[in-house]
Structure 1
Amino acid sequence: MEFEWSEGDAAYRRELRAFLNAGLPDDWAELSAHGPGSDAQAAFSRQFCGALAQRGWLTQSWPKAYGGADATPWRHAILSEEMWRVGEPRGSQYMNVNWIGPTIMKYGSEEQKKFHLPKISAGNALWCQGFSEPEAGSDLVSLRTAAARSGDDYVVNGSKIWTSYVAGAEYCFLLVRTDPNSKRHRGISVLLAPMDAPGITVREVPAVIGERYFHELFFDDARIPASCRLGPEGEGWGVVSYALAFERVGAMRYARAALTLDALAEAARERGRLDDPVIQEKLGAARTAVEASRLLSYRVIDLRAKGSEPTADTNIARVAGTLCENAVSDLALEIYGAEALAYGNFAESYWRLAMTAGVAVGTTEINLNLIASRWLDLPRE
């Protein structure tokens, strides 16, 4: 792997940082305090992503045929790093660029590509994902939300929970079971479901993480056109596995962790604790975790740039990202002490949003199991 950025990539990063410094509002810290799922950040993302799209930056790593510029995956990595270090002003639209769009490119019909991809590349589409269910969280293949074919529609019944980014979402990347007699991975399909379809009800799940972060979705005889199915019926597990491989390294959380760690070192200095050997050791360990996460994510980007199909490297990078966030958030609580008990405190805010790292895109335990089976080839028993 080449560890030096090209002159063009370095220049792009500088230009992107200048754009962020000039383009983020003065109250950005307050606006982003509740995370990318809030109503305020969802609304802001349309304006912000539209500006990115006008500069040709939002989906630059996509093929030109779908609104991109055929840029390398490294440009996508730079964009993600710079977005996450300032609190992800793309809001939920980072998902569109990272994995929803690429999955539609691979599995979508021509009609689906023509309808969805231009909206995503223009920064004018909000999506949520309907994966987890009350009885199928980490064990996603146990999902029971049913979609029965009825003429030109699927009639969907069931529920989803812990659904993020529902605020303003127009479409849901929805996993359903289209074969009632199937089990586990078989009989699952993906629907690109319009959220305004009759029979879909949304209820917020209050959470300490942030405003409007989690929701429940209820489907009561919701009719979704069969033309919204992504890929062949009953073969949705392959579709979602492809999508998850992109999502697991799409959020460069280590960039935000690195910036937070610099601020924590300064906070320790101000409190006279920087010479404490315990704090020094934990600062060093956290920095190591941040760099490990960055390099393992780069490994995945490098493989992608070389045309490799998704591998277990994505699971390894995801676990490293969680360990990185945990190390930094735990250190933040220790340095700030009792101050961190106040809602909105710097340490509390970071810790609150870092909690999602170990459950989003599959829990750490699930990712470790996948590493054991796919990377280490260990037996299940």
Structure 2
Amino acid sequence: MGLDFDWTDEERAYRARIRDFLRRELPPEWGDIARHGPGSKEQTDFSRTFCPKLAEAGLLVPHWPAEWGGADRPTWEHFILGEEMWASGEPRGAQYMNVNWIGPTLMRYGSDEQKQRYIPPMAKGQAIWCQGFSEPNAGSDLAALRTRAVRDGDDYVINGTKIWTSYAGLAETCFLLARTGGADTGKAGIAIFLVPMDTPGVEVRAIPSLIGHGDIHECFFTDVRVPASSRLGAEGEAWSIIRYSLANERVGIPRYELSARVLEEMVEDLKQQGRFDDPAIQIRAGEAAAACEAARLLTYRVVDQKARGGAPGPEANVARFAVVTADNSVTDFGLDFLPDFFSGLNRPGYLAHHERAIVAGIAAGAAEIQLNLIAHRFLDLPKVAS
């Protein structure tokens, strides 16, 4: 069955409803707030006011089941919502993670106690989470992680370090990966823990960076004691849960929509300068626009699979890499033809987009790792012995 590339009247009306909401609720100073980044105190504080309004309007988690605060709306509506939020600079801040993958993961794998504790605040727009995945010696290769969780009676004692942890400075809870088996157990020895960030022994340090204030951190876990009830799923079950979560995350950030809108602004600036009649510039603009459209359609293919009840497969890796390519195509176009506009003064949105494009190539599995997965899982190419 082919993919229908047209929107229904109902879907167009839904998109218009979201845009009307954004016009009403985003303040004139929103552009300045968004420049700080989703992990900043400024944008996080804004999300704590904005997301409850979204929830009240039925626009925060409409695709979730009704029993968990949603409205059982179609998958495509969830994605239309994501496109409009990202095109506007993502006013949900860090809470987009709750909507896209943390909440659905808990619904599928969480205990009754975990669901009752964590899902309702997410549905109301009142929860900030972070994910404790990467480590100094285990970035995209999560099987190499060393943070350990040792069983001690009814508790686990966790020791280790996480790095590049987005939103950790303001998060209430961490979706944490730790090793419960020996070093030789690989993926099979990993478990997931839901750890309150105010637990004794948790220390968070911000990492200065180009990508926004407060976006990334180091997290240190020193004799952090959590109850066994905080473990999500069984020991050794983490990898199947992570694959489910990451597949949702990789297509849950439609940055191509933001890239396409930034590209339109760049083209308009070039027209204002009388420079867009240059064929070389037109060709490069066309290439960047094509990259955005390719990312959109490849992502839609994955969304279509999900809408039909299927689980995201290796196509999610293809779409993820296409989004990174689109981001870089737009920022490279701007840097080549509008370099003065990246000073942060004339067009702060251009600089912010460039900074976020750096993140896009790293978050949810580095772009290079996606290429390896595409070669192995999508193209079925043989591994080359080193």
**Counterpart residue identity of residue 267, structure 1:** D
The answer to whether the 8 A contact 1:289-1:320 is kept is yes
Q: Does 1:361 align with 2:364?
A: yes
Match of 1:78 in 2: 80
Q: Kindly indicate whether the alpha-carbon contact (under 8 Å) linking 1:178 and 1:188 is maintained by their aligned counterparts in 2.
A: yes
Q: CA deviation at 1:335?
A: 2.2
- Aligned partners of 1:93 and 1:126 also within 8 Å: yes
How many angstroms apart in 1 are the aligned matches of 2:352 and 2:10? 35
Kept in 1: contact 2:35–2:349 (CA 8 A): no
Q: Contact conserved, 2:94 with 2:128, CA < 8 A, in 1?
A: yes
Matches within 5 A, 1:215-226: 215-226=217-228
For residues 286-325 of structure 1, the aligned pairs below 5 Å read: 286-325=288-327
Give the residue type in structure 2 aligned to 1:213: D
Listed as ranges, the matches of 1:146-225 within 5 Å are: 146-225=148-227
Deviation at 1:224, TM superposition (A): 1.5
Q: 229, 232, 235: which is aligned to 1:230?
A: 232
Distance apart, 1:272 and its partner CA: 2.1
Which residue does the alignment assign to 1:63?
A: 65
The Cα shift of 1:180 comes to 2.7
In the TM superposition, what is the alpha-carbon distance from 1:339 to its structure 2 partner? 4.1
Q: Deviations over 1:336-358 (max 9, x none)?
A: 22442457744322211211111
**Separation in 2 of the partners of 1:124 and 1:208?**
28
Alpha-carbon distance between aligned partners in 1 of 2:102 and 2:341, rounded to the nearest angstrom: 40
Counterpart of 2:375 in 1: which secondary structure? Answer: helix
1:339 and 1:64 map into 2 onto residues whose CA distance is 46
Match of 2:143 in 1: 141
TM-score norm. by structure 2 comes to 0.96
Letter in structure 1 aligned against 2:380:
D
Q: 1:342 to 1:48 in 2, by over 3 A?
A: closer
1:181 deviates by: 4.3
Q: Distance in 2 between matches of 1:33 and 1:333?
A: 18
Alpha-carbon distance in structure 1 between the residues aligned to 2:114 and 2:43? 27
Normalised TM-score (structure 1): 0.98
Deviations 1:275-330 (A, max 9, x none): 11111011000000000011111111110010001201110110000000000011
Residues in 2 aligned to 1:263 and 1:342: alpha-carbon distance in whole angstroms: 15
Q: Is the contact between residue 42 and residue 167 of structure 1 (CA under 8 Å) also seen in structure 2?
A: no
Amino acid at match of 2:362: V
Is 2:269 the partner of 1:280? no
- The residue number in structure 1 matching 2:377 is 374
Q: Which amino acid aligns with 1:56?
A: G
> Secondary structure of 2:221's match?
strand
Partner residue of 2:243? 241
Question: Contact between 1:333 and 1:348, CA under 8 Å: does it hold in 2?
Answer: no
Residue matched to 2:259:
257
Q: Alpha-carbon deviation of 1:368? A: 0.9
8 Å Cα contact 2:179-2:190 kept in structure 1: yes
Hey, what does 2:16 align to over in structure 1? 14
CA separation in 2, counterparts of 1:153 and 1:27? 47
Comparing 255-264 with 174-183, which one deviates more in the overlay? 174-183
Q: 1:350 aligns with which of 338, 348, 353?
A: 353
What are structure 1's unaligned runs of at least 5 residues?
none
Alignment RMSD: 1.2
| 2:94 aligns with one of 88, 92, 95 | 92
Alpha-carbon distance change, 377 to 92 in structure 1, aligned in 2, over 3 angstroms: same
Structure 2 unaligned residues grouped into runs of 5+: none
Between the aligned partners of 1:209 and 1:271, the Cα distance in structure 2 is: 29
Q: How does 1:88-127 map to 2 (within 5 A)?
A: 88-127=90-129
Contact 1:333 1:347 in 2 (8 A): no
Amino acid of the structure 2 residue aligned with 1:373:
H
Post-superposition CA distance 1:196-248 (Å, at most 9, x none): 10000000000011101110000000112211111111221111111000000
Contact conserved, 1:336 with 1:347, CA < 8 A, in 2?
no
Cα distance in 2 between the residues matched to 1:252 and 1:350: 13
After superposition, the Cα gap between the structure-2 partners of 1:256 and 1:339, relative to the gap in structure 1 and judged at 3 Å, is closer
What amino acid does structure 1 have at the position aligned with 2:52?
G
SS at 2:363 equivalent: coil
Report Cα offsets for 1:253-280 as digits up to 9, x if no partner. Answer: 0110111011010111122220111110
Q: Is the 8 A contact 1:142 1:183 kept in 2?
A: no
**Contact 2:181 2:189 survives alignment (8 Å):** yes
1:248–1:314 Cα contact (<8 Å) kept = yes
CA distance in 2 between partners of 1:158 and 1:180 (Å): 14
1:244 partner letter: L
Secondary structure of the residue aligned to 1:282 is: helix
Greater shift in the superposed pair: 336-345 or 319-328: 336-345
Q: Aligned partners of 1:377, 1:104: CA distance in 2, in Å?
A: 32
In structure 2, how many angstroms separate the alpha carbons of the residues matched to 1:284 and 1:326?
14
> Runs of 4 or more off by more than 6 Å in structure 1?
none
Question: What SS does structure 1 have at the residue aligned with 2:163?
Answer: strand
CA distance in 2, matches of 1:111, 1:231: 12
Q: Distance in 2 between matches of 1:101 and 1:345?
A: 33
